[in-house]
Structure 1
Amino acid sequence: MQVPSTELNTRMARFRDRMDHTCPDWEVAAITEKINLYYFTGTIQDGLLLVPRNSDAVFWVRKSYERSITESQFPDIRPMASYRDAAAVMGPIKKPVYLELDFVSIAQYGRMQKHFSFTGPLGVDTQVAAVRSIKSPYEIALMEKAGKIHRHVLEDLVPDLLTEGIDEVSLASALYAVMVREGHQGIIRFGMFNEMLLGQIGFGTSSISPICVDTPGGISGMYPAVPMAGCRERKLTKDDLVVVDIGCGVEGYQTDKTMTYMFGNAIPDAAIDVHEQCVAVQDKVAALLKPGAIPSEIYTSIMNGLEPEFRKGFMGYGNNTVKFLGHGIGLWIDESPVIAQGFNEPLQERMVFAVEPKKGIKDIGLVGIENTFMVTPGGGRSLTGTHRGLMPVY
């Protein structure tokens, strides 16, 4: 399962090219965030990847050096006890160093600055995100595997897990076991330090409970200390809408998908109509996911085309709404770019987006849909199936 050396070499070359074009005076970039380290080196170890402009990159590993050698085909991996070891070889850095400002703590920055004596720092987060946003055929193949598992479990297997009286936590536990059995890696990852086992699973109005995550849906949670795992007291009853919004990963690469189920009886016709409008929005967005399209223009065009009444509470419930229609996805669930205002760089082929138009309905819950699409010249190609949601389970 090693990331091929050709893949690592290509990623590094693309990163250097991006830095040359956007930061023409750069001298050194330093990478420490674990998923970025995996992207560039093929291993998640505690270390420091130094990328000098005029010499080869070196991955300095604190722990575990032995494992990094076993797992990674990166060409230059060296052990270090602390940053002092890397600095003794690298020498002082005369210009500002480019760091992942979204992830480096002040304490970590202080230790690095102490040994390398650089000024600055400047941010490299945008450059790394831009490189990661365009998936290689190797990455797409892994996301396709994840998407097949995702589709099969949510469309074929979940209905058999829905039994009257089951609580949200028990359903999540049963679903987790099924996902792992089918090939899910057992964890999904987000930017900004967040990890989950699956995602958001809720019955009825649990799916629109306010939460701290920037997402259209919600979840009631067990208690304030664990607000993301579902509620043990919320039992599935007939007439419930069931919302399953989860990720699926294979070798680090993830897809995102939401399926809704009508348990026992259909939800009211008016709610079904809202759901179908959300599905229509997904289809319109997917059709626009072509090379050269501008994410902010897609967002504006779609939102301006919605009826004013439908826009009230769209992409959430009540005042708890989000200002995007989809987000990049890959090694993180929430990658860049985003289909939202402010994202003005043209799309490129093999970018991948989770498109999730949804709307909460009083006394019913969250309707809508989400699938993962790859940008192609013919528009977005779904990696997670084509089911329209609101699957009846009677």
Structure 2
Amino acid sequence: MIQAEIFAKRRRDLLMVLAEKEHFDTAIIIGRVNLYYYLGTIQDGMFVLRHNGESYFFVRKSYTRAIEESSFDNILQIRSYADMSQYLPKNLGHVYLETEVIPLAMLNRIRKYFDMEAIHGLDGIISTMRAKKGPEEIELIELSSQKHNQVMMQVVPAILREGMSETDFAAELYAEMIKHGHHGVSRFSMFQMEMIIGQFGFGDTTIYPTNFDGPGGMKGMSPAVPILGDRNRKLKKGDLVFVDVGFGFEGYHSDKTQVYSFGTPPDEHVAAIHNACIRVMKKAEALIVPGADPGLVYDIAMADLPVELSENFMGYGESVRFLGHGVGLFIDELPVITSKYHVPLEEGMVIALEPKCGIKDVGMVGVEETFLVTSDGARCLTGGAKEIITVPFK
């Protein structure tokens, strides 16, 4: 459990960062994951931080649970935004908001009672703070990673059987993940992202076009629900099984991908492409050190790719332009390993590297592992990249 003083320090650190801005009068946080990061509880409420150090957590529901869970000493129950006017000035001045989270309609409702001279984005400030994990966060991510690796190495091979559908697999995998300690949700910062477990499938459904911003594909249940697997796709001998799932423990995630071959070893050319992805991961992993430029890590790792990866690397038909991403309270956090991101890596950051490649008529291969940036370089938390695992036919 994260101690009260950790949440208090995060709030102080946020105030210090904002105080350095040329214009800062008020900060407002409504994103529930960010509320947890600073207050230790997820409620329907609004955390308000003023330039003079005054701060308030206005809660509509549940005030009782907020009092129980959060050590913050200024939690106030409200029924509407109008109730906040007895604590806050009419003019909030220059306001920092989570502009990627707050709906325009909500902002307009707040503006009904308060004036704002200007609005500034708070998302980048919070994301940068959250990118570097404290010891208490690292401990939870390590626990998630250990459980995650156990599920991928032991549970998945035991589940797979001839004739099961992708949705059968999803249901059984989810149940086993919960039994192994998974917190039940996969949280993403991506707008309108819906994901139950992750991306997975049999054969070429794993290169099916998808709206998910990642290298893998998924057909899903239907156009209305393009996730959670295809009810009609049954597992058969010779299928590749691609499993890219996040695991979570006490709010913090790990990310890992493993590929299996059901009933027979993979063809040599398929194994060669998969193993080439492992080589790219090792190349990138060696560059993950404190002070490294993520853009340079990406450029070096992507230069002189193995010939096996000359087609459909990082996406079948449509490739993504990153090789890795931060992991924490969200599965997709900073830093991003991409050519356009140049904020130096720091000790305590957690990064998932995921080199993958699509193969026509076969499916997606490749690996993903979660790493901790240490003073000695990258330390893998999720067990390390493996070759394609052959699962006995049953």
TM-score, structure 1 length as denominator?
0.96
Q: Deviations over 1:81-114 (max 9, x none)?
A: 1111222211123522111110111111111122
1:256 & 1:18 partners in 2: Cα distance?
30
Q: Deviations over 1:133-171 (max 9, x none)?
A: 111111111111110110001011211111111110001
Q: Deviations over 1:41-60 (max 9, x none)?
A: 11110111001121232111
Is the counterpart of residue 235 in structure 1 residue 271 in structure 2?
no
Does structure 1 retain, via aligned residues, the 8 Å contact 2:244–2:257? yes
CA change 1:283–1:75 in 2 (3 A) is farther
Does structure 1 retain, via aligned residues, the 8 Å contact 2:202–2:241? yes
Is the counterpart of residue 84 in structure 1 residue 82 in structure 2?
yes
Aligned to 1:47: 45
Aligned to 1:384: 382
The alignment-based identity, stated in percent, is 42
Aligned to 2:180: 182
Aligned to 2:110: 112
Aligned to 2:293: 294
Aligned to 1:155: 153
Does structure 2 retain, via aligned residues, the 8 Å contact 1:18–1:131? no
| Structure 2 counterpart of 1:296, one-letter code | G
CA change 1:52–1:37 in 2 (3 A) is same
Aligned to 1:221: 220
Q: Deviations over 1:309-353 (max 9, x none)?
A: 7243110112x1100000111111111221012211111111111
Q: Deviations over 1:199-256 (max 9, x none)?
A: 1120010111110010100111111111111011111111110011111111110011
Instruction: Please give the residue correspondences for 1:341-356 in structure 2 after superposition, counting only pairs within 5 Å.
Output: 341-356=339-354
2:140 & 2:311 partners in 1: Cα distance?
38
Among 165, 175, 190, the alignment partner of 1:167 is 165
Q: How big is the shift at 1:128?
A: 0.6
Aligned to 1:248: 247
1:144 & 1:190 partners in 2: Cα distance?
19
Does structure 1 retain, via aligned residues, the 8 Å contact 2:352–2:368? yes
Instruction: Please give the residue correspondences for 1:54-93 in structure 2 after superposition, counting only pairs within 5 Å.
Output: 54-93=52-91
2:338 & 2:308 partners in 1: Cα distance?
21
Does structure 1 retain, via aligned residues, the 8 Å contact 2:200–2:243? yes
Instruction: Please give the residue correspondences for 1:257-336 in structure 2 after superposition, counting only pairs within 5 Å.
Output: 257-307=256-306, 310-318=309-317, 320-336=318-334
Q: How big is the shift at 1:379?
A: 1.6
2:125 & 2:374 partners in 1: Cα distance?
23
1:222 & 1:291 partners in 2: Cα distance?
42
2:304 & 2:55 partners in 1: Cα distance?
48
Q: How big is the shift at 1:307?
A: 4.4
CA change 1:250–1:309 in 2 (3 A) is closer
What is the alpha-carbon root mean square deviation over aligned residues? 1.4
1:14 & 1:287 partners in 2: Cα distance?
32
Q: How big is the shift at 1:26?
A: 1.1
Secondary structure, in 3 states, of the residue corresponding to 1:245? strand
Does structure 2 retain, via aligned residues, the 8 Å contact 1:207–1:219? yes
CA change 1:229–1:16 in 2 (3 A) is same
Which stretch has the larger CA shift, 150-159 or 186-195?
A: 186-195
Secondary structure, in 3 states, of the residue corresponding to 2:42? coil
Which stretch has the larger CA shift, 306-315 or 260-269?
A: 306-315
Aligned to 1:203: 202
| Structure 2 counterpart of 1:361, one-letter code | I
Does structure 2 retain, via aligned residues, the 8 Å contact 1:259–1:390? yes
CA change 1:306–1:385 in 2 (3 A) is same
Aligned to 1:4: 3
Secondary structure, in 3 states, of the residue corresponding to 1:346? coil
Q: Which runs of 4+ in 1 moved over 4 A?
A: none
1:353 & 1:92 partners in 2: Cα distance?
43
2:307 & 2:180 partners in 1: Cα distance?
43
2:91 & 2:288 partners in 1: Cα distance?
42
2:387 & 2:34 partners in 1: Cα distance?
34
2:215 & 2:193 partners in 1: Cα distance?
18
2:351 & 2:265 partners in 1: Cα distance?
30
Does structure 2 retain, via aligned residues, the 8 Å contact 1:4–1:73? no
Q: Which structure 2 residue ranges, 5 or more long, are not aligned?
A: none
Q: How big is the shift at 1:387?
A: 4.3
Does structure 2 retain, via aligned residues, the 8 Å contact 1:239–1:263? yes
Aligned to 2:143: 145
Q: Which structure 1 residue ranges, 5 or more long, are not aligned?
A: none
Secondary structure, in 3 states, of the residue corresponding to 1:19? helix
